[in-house]
Amino acid sequence: MRDKVVFHVNGKRVEFEGNPMTRLIDILRDDLGLTGVKEGCGEGECGACSIIKDGKLVTSCIIPVGAADGSEILTIEGIKDTPKGICITEAFRDGGAVQCGFCIPGMVMAAYALLEENHHPTEEDIRMAISGNICRCTGYDLIVSSVQLAAERGGELWQ
Amino acid sequence: MSATKIDDRIVRVDAMEKARGEALYVSDIKFPGMIYGTLVRSSIARGKIISINVPDLPEGYSFITADDIPEEGRNELWMIAKDWRCFASGDVKYVGETIGILCGPDRNMLSYLKERIKVEYEEEVPAVTIDDALSLKGGPIAGEDNIMCSLYCEKGEKMDDVFRKADSIFEETLETGFQEHVHLETNSAIVRLEDGRFTFYISAQCPFYVRKSVAGLLGLRPEDIVVKQTTTGGAFGGKEHFPDVLAGPLLVACNKIRKPIKLVFEREEDMLYSVKRHPSKVLFKTALDKEGNILGIDGKIYYNCGAYLSASYVVLQRGVFHANGVYDIPSTHLVGYGVATNTFPSDAFRGFGAPQTLFAIEMHLSHIARKFGFDPAEYKSRYFLKKGSETVTNGHIVEDVKLPEMFRQIADASDYERKSKEYEIGSGKGIGISFYNHGGAFTGNGEQAIIKAHARLVKTGDRVRIEVGSTEMGQGFQTALRKIAANALEIDISRVDYPNPDTSRVPDSGPTAASRSTMVVGKIVEDCALEMKARWDEGDFSVEKEYVHPDGHPWDQDTFRGDAYLGYGWGACIVEVEVDKLTNEVTTKGIWSSHDVGKAIDELIVHGQVNGGVIQSLGYASMEKMENRNGHFRQSSMSDYVVPTSMDFPKQEWFLVDNPYQWGPQGAKGMGELVFNGADAAYTDAVERALGATICKIPIPPEDIEEAIDNAR
Ligand code: FES
Ligand code: FES
């Protein structure tokens, strides 16, 4: 039996009729062309493929598409032109958070998920929130301070 | 728009497209009709290939091996040496050696078919460690003695005389392990025909290396092949020569299939079947007088090179040249051996051979200091190199050395002297220190004699395009180089373009390696810009220049004598830890570093490099354990091979000293590798003091600490 899986990605309805065990990341990247979702490990260890599913930060490489049925999914493409997305990406740019960039869309998603919940995160809160996202380039300090910058600059945006 | 000055705070030019997820890495690129490739590899470390059994392949699928190399081609990749085969044939020398590439349109089908390709072997006994190889386990792999390359250098009196005068001799063996790069983007490449030419889109540090390396497979000239670098998601040396190992099979396959082919490693493949940092073993024998003063050091340095030489001889040279660290030891004799084993070939990794010997000398001097009751920092500082000091290659330090000032900065910030006295050895609290350097650019006159780097600036209207073969791999070079050009041209940085290199359009600027890009290529670009500025009103034109080595600094590449490096980066690092004596869990309480990079072209970029390099080095010392059993790496995923997360280390305090380098653009020297070279030893020193143990081997994850304590008893 092959049920149809229906969900929303960045506000658009997506219908999928295929093997429900197909990895969500493959649907996002290959079928929908959302290549801002990066694959760094394919096993839930690096966070490069982070997306927000029903308000929660998850790694799309270990989620079968079947488990996305009925959900609302946000990828970097869905937030980058929103005021919040612009706030975070500009803070990352100005704060020197970006090096090779491969981890960065996932980091932006992690920052987004954090700031939605916690408008005034401490350094510790931020380190915890991005602890599932591996960055091999930056040593994290400038990512952490850039998230702080986004929280400060965003102000009311996050209320 | 105003003219960009070198001290202006600017934002990285590539930050926004990366943060928005718009930068295209190889895995994001598709071409019409593109198919996929996957490598079929050796599953044993050493043996003969008896047969390769390939199932019937569906239409559109092919399996390409050494037999598909045309008659005019040769089955070799031309790295620095030419010994690395594109495809194993007849025998295999390590686990993961490429046997063939399976190509076809559907990736699931490729995995299915790959499992059904059966290779039969006649297995032989592999030599995996340095000791295995030196004892010729399983018979020699290279030559008669498994020594693939060697060199020595000496300074001062003959060792026999030195040791005759010694009051005591301190001997120890220091070891370091494999380290995996774990660039977050795995190795990946696409090949296709464009206007009849084989064209690569590749994640690589050195596009010109790739075309040189693979052209011979088809009997072509390097210029017959086009290499376009794509946004590169981290490299750290892991994409210096290794992309050739992907490009070679892809080229042979594309020659047969004539379709675009994409090859993207999965993380597991990147972990198990890619190059690593050379494991090392350093034997130091040091002659001391009654007071503990060093009379001389005799060093034997062994690097595990794996099955092919590739770049190892050059790595080993750098290891030997850095084996006295930042110290002026009156007499020294240092000999290095590159040892062949049946492991995946070792290759470039940030630091390029220097971190191993720097770790060894730092720990060795700390151990001597402690034995004689001196504080390691005080003891080491007696031997600091100064301007004019003789180096281990009988050259001289040609610049000011600011280590005393750098030590002061971090000692004050960390309260080093107080803590060093107050934290009793074995109390669970420890503070450690290290000093280090990194010779900039290629050794000696290699930049002029071998590399002959070129750079070009092209003026069109009021815009200027930089044309160089150097690459951005995350280190910020696109921004730094544009800033250097804009500053010299006295124009706004937004008017300077620097597209990713395409070998058919840009001159060869040499590899993006050896911390040479800012110092050497940056300098040529600055010189081009100054000339362009003077001729600005001439309309549209271009300026191209070649690197010129300063006179008066002789170097003999046959005997390794002379000024090995004209400018060094210098560093000092302090790490403070607490060790839970029940669980051996180490908590890092503070990290302080100071670096001399000449002049920072962009402070924010240097800040990021310092943070990243230091954390990578702390990972190397504390947690990044890659074991090899019987030729098989045991850590195959990011959960087995753990790199630092945001929770593992606290925020760093960092300092710079200004020490402009007379031949660098705006006084800049290299920095990318320097910042890796010392935090490992500072951490290890701190852990040793906290535990009252002697540690001679890294990595030292908590589960290995018990052993270190036992050994110390
Ligand atoms: S790619 Fe999904 S967690 Fe690494
Ligand atoms: S910027 Fe390279 S992995 Fe984070």
**Chain A interface, best mutation among B646, B676, B683, by max A CB count within 10 A:** B646
β-pair type (B147-155, B62-65): unpaired
CA distances for B492 relative to B339, B354, B533, B684, B695, angstroms: 51, 38, 13, 46, 52
User: So what's the pLDDT on residue B1?
Assistant: 64
Q: Residue A56, SS3?
A: strand
Tell me, yes or no, if A39 comes closer than 8 A to chain B by beta carbon. Answer: yes
Q: How many CB pairs under 8 A join A and B?
A: 172
Write out the residue limits of the CATH 1.10.150.120 domain(s) in chain A. 80-154
Ligand 2 pocket check for A102: Cβ under 6 Å = yes
Distance from CA of A156 to the nearest CA of B (A): 22
| Whether the Cβ atoms of residue B561 and residue B573 lie closer than 8 Å to each other | no
Q: What tokens appear for A92 in the block?
A: 């990352």
Q: What is the pLDDT of residues A141-152, one digit of tens each?
A: 999 999 999 999
β-pair type (B261-264, B35-41): parallel
Verify whether the Cβ–Cβ distance A41 to B267 is below 8 Å: yes
Tell me, yes or no, if B270 comes closer than 8 A to chain A by beta carbon. Answer: no
Q: Provide ipTM, 2 decimals.
A: 0.98
Q: Which atom of ligand 2 is nearest to the CA of A40?
A: 3
Proximal ligand: closest to the CA of A134: 2
Verify whether the Cβ–Cβ distance A136 to B475 is below 8 Å: no
Verify whether the Cβ–Cβ distance B184 to A131 is below 8 Å: no
Task: Check pLDDT > 80 for residue A45.
Answer: yes
Q: Determine the Cα angle at B514 with ends B651 and B267, to 5°.
A: 65
User: So what's the pLDDT on residue B447?
Assistant: 85
Fill in the amino acid letter for B702. Answer: P
Assigned superfamily of A5-78:
Beta-grasp domain (3.10.20.30)
For residue B26, report the phi and psi dihedrals to the nearest 5 degrees.
-50, -45
Tell me, yes or no, if A139 comes closer than 8 A to chain B by beta carbon. Answer: yes
Among chain A residues, the shortest Cα distance to B614 is held by A139
Verify whether the Cβ–Cβ distance B605 to A141 is below 8 Å: no
Query: Which residues are CB-contacts of B67 (< 8 A; sequence separation ≥ 6)?
Result: B89
Write out the residue limits of the CATH 3.10.20.30 domain(s) in chain A. 5-78
Calculate the CA B230 to chain-centre distance.
20
Verify whether the Cβ–Cβ distance B611 to A135 is below 8 Å: no
Ligand 1 pocket check for A41: Cβ under 6 Å = yes
Among A48, A101, A131, the residue with its CB nearest the CB of B231 is: A101
Q: What tokens appear for B603 in the block?
A: 């402070």
Q: Which of residues 172-191 of B touch A (CB under 8 A)?
A: 181-186
Query: Which residues are CB-contacts of B264 (< 8 A; sequence separation ≥ 6)?
Result: B26, B27, B186, B187, B188
Helix residue ranges, H only, B535-602: none
Distance from CA of B111 to the nearest CA of A (A): 15
Assigned superfamily of A80-154:
[2Fe-2S]-binding domain (1.10.150.120)
Among A100, A133, A140, the residue with its CB nearest the CB of B473 is: A100
Ligand 2 pocket check for A100: Cβ under 6 Å = yes
Query: Which residues are CB-contacts of B289 (< 8 A; sequence separation ≥ 6)?
Result: B165, B166, B167, B295
Verify whether the Cβ–Cβ distance A140 to B234 is below 8 Å: no
Calculate the CA B352 to chain-centre distance.
4
User: So what's the pLDDT on residue B514?
Assistant: 81
Verify whether the Cβ–Cβ distance A89 to B605 is below 8 Å: no
Pocket residue to mutate for ligand 1, from A37, A45, A135, most atoms within 8 A of Cβ: A45
CA distance B533 to B554: 33
Stated pTM of the model: 0.97
Among chain B residues, the shortest Cα distance to A127 is held by B646
Q: Which residue has the tokens 């983007």?
A: B185
Q: Which domains does chain B have, with CATH numbers?
A: 31-124+181-272 (3.90.1170.50), 280-443+560-712 (3.30.365.10), 446-546 (3.30.365.10)
Q: Which of residues 48-107 of A touch B (CB under 8 A)?
A: 48, 75-77, 80, 88-90, 92-94, 96-105
Edge to edge, what strands does the sheet with B454-460 contain?
Answer: B496-497, B463-467, B454-460, B541-546
CA distances for B607 relative to A99, A137, B420, B475, B614, angstroms: 11, 12, 27, 11, 11
Total residue length of chain B: 713
Q: Which atom of ligand 2 is nearest to the CA of A100?
A: 2
pLDDT over 70 percentage in chain A: 99
3 state SS for B230-262: CCCCCCCCCCCCCHHHHHHHHHHHHHHHCCCEE
Query: Which residues are CB-contacts of B427 (< 8 A; sequence separation ≥ 6)?
Result: B690
Task: Check pLDDT > 50 for residue A1.
Answer: no
CA distance B632 to B497: 45
User: So what's the pLDDT on residue A2?
Assistant: 54
Cβ-Cβ contacts under 8 Å, B234 against chain A: 99-100, 102, 136-137
For residue B193, report the phi and psi dihedrals to the nearest 5 degrees.
-95, 125
Ligand 2 center to residue A140 CA distance, Å?
Answer: 9
Q: Which residue has the tokens 């000791």?
A: B131
For residues A15-34, average pLDDT: 96
Distance from CA of B618 to the nearest CA of A (A): 10
Fill in the amino acid letter for B477. Answer: F
| Whether the Cβ atoms of residue B60 and residue B133 lie closer than 8 Å to each other | no
| Whether the Cβ atoms of residue B582 and residue B688 lie closer than 8 Å to each other | no
CA distance B284 to B647: 36
Verify whether the Cβ–Cβ distance A141 to B474 is below 8 Å: no
Q: Determine the Cα angle at B208 with ends B608 and B349, to 5°.
A: 40
Of all helices (H) and strands (E), which one includes residue B159?
Answer: helix B159-165
Ligand 2 pocket check for A35: Cβ under 6 Å = no
Task: Check pLDDT > 60 for residue A130.
Answer: yes
CA distance B599 to B596: 8
Q: Residue A53, SS3?
A: strand
CA distance B449 to B453: 10
Proximal ligand: closest to the CA of A139: 2
Among B637, B647, B652, the residue with its CB nearest the CB of A43 is: B637
Distance from CA of B680 to the nearest CA of A (A): 14
Q: Residue B188, SS3?
A: strand
Tell me, yes or no, if B560 comes closer than 8 A to chain A by beta carbon. Answer: no
Ligand 2 pocket check for A134: Cβ under 6 Å = no
User: So what's the pLDDT on residue B464?
Assistant: 97
Q: Which of residues 627-686 of B touch A (CB under 8 A)?
A: 637-639, 643-647, 649, 651-652
Ligand 1 center to residue B632 CA distance, Å?
Answer: 24
CA distance B478 to B498: 7
Q: Which residue has the tokens 């000239």?
A: B221
Q: What tokens appear for A61 in the block?
A: 């490489």
In a 13 Å sphere around the CA of B168, the CA atoms on its Cβ side amount to 9
Query: Which residues are CB-contacts of B56 (< 8 A; sequence separation ≥ 6)?
Result: none
> Which stretches in chain B have pLDDT values below 70?
1, 712-713
| Whether the Cβ atoms of residue B701 and residue B623 lie closer than 8 Å to each other | yes
Verify whether the Cβ–Cβ distance B234 to A143 is below 8 Å: no
CA distance A57 to A79: 14
Which residue's alpha carbon is nearest to atom 2 within ligand 2?
A: A100
Verify whether the Cβ–Cβ distance A137 to B608 is below 8 Å: yes
Cβ-Cβ contacts under 8 Å, B235 against chain A: 100
Max Cα-Cα span within chain A: 51
Distance from CA of A108 to the nearest CA of B (A): 7
Distance from CA of A19 to the nearest CA of B (A): 13
Q: What is the pLDDT of residues A94-129, one digit of tens each?
A: 999 999 999 999 999 999 999 999 999 999 999 999
Verify whether the Cβ–Cβ distance A98 to B20 is below 8 Å: no
User: What does B277-308 look like in DSSP terms, one character per residue?
Assistant: BPPEEEEEEEEE-TT--EEEEEEEEEEEEES-
Task: Count CB-CB contacts under 10 A for residue B44.
Answer: 22
Task: Count CB-CB contacts under 10 A for residue A70.
Answer: 10
Ligand 2 center to residue A138 CA distance, Å?
Answer: 6
Ligand 1 center to residue B371 CA distance, Å?
Answer: 48
Task: Count CB-CB contacts under 10 A for residue A156.
Answer: 6
**Chain A interface, best mutation among B10, B20, B36, by max A CB count within 10 A:** B20
Ligand 2 center to residue A102 CA distance, Å?
Answer: 5
- Residue from B299, B312, B300 nearest B339 by CA: B312
Ligand 1 center to residue A75 CA distance, Å?
Answer: 14
CA distance B129 to A55: 50
Query: Which residues are CB-contacts of B109 (< 8 A; sequence separation ≥ 6)?
Result: B58, B61
| Whether the Cβ atoms of residue A93 and residue B16 lie closer than 8 Å to each other | yes
In a 13 Å sphere around the CA of B545, the CA atoms on its Cβ side amount to 19
Proximal ligand: closest to the CA of A50: 1
User: So what's the pLDDT on residue B240?
Assistant: 97
For residue B537, count CB atoms less than 10 angstroms from its CB and return exposed for 0-12, middle for 13-18, buried for 19 or more.
exposed
Task: Check pLDDT > 60 for residue A51.
Answer: yes
> Where do the DSSP E strands lie in B361-512?
429-439, 454-460, 463-467, 496-497
Verify whether the Cβ–Cβ distance A142 to B611 is below 8 Å: yes
Verify whether the Cβ–Cβ distance A100 to B21 is below 8 Å: no
| Whether the Cβ atoms of residue B48 and residue B121 lie closer than 8 Å to each other | yes
| Whether the Cβ atoms of residue B479 and residue B12 lie closer than 8 Å to each other | yes
- Residue from B148, B145, B123 nearest B136 by CA: B145
Ligand 2 center to residue B473 CA distance, Å?
Answer: 10
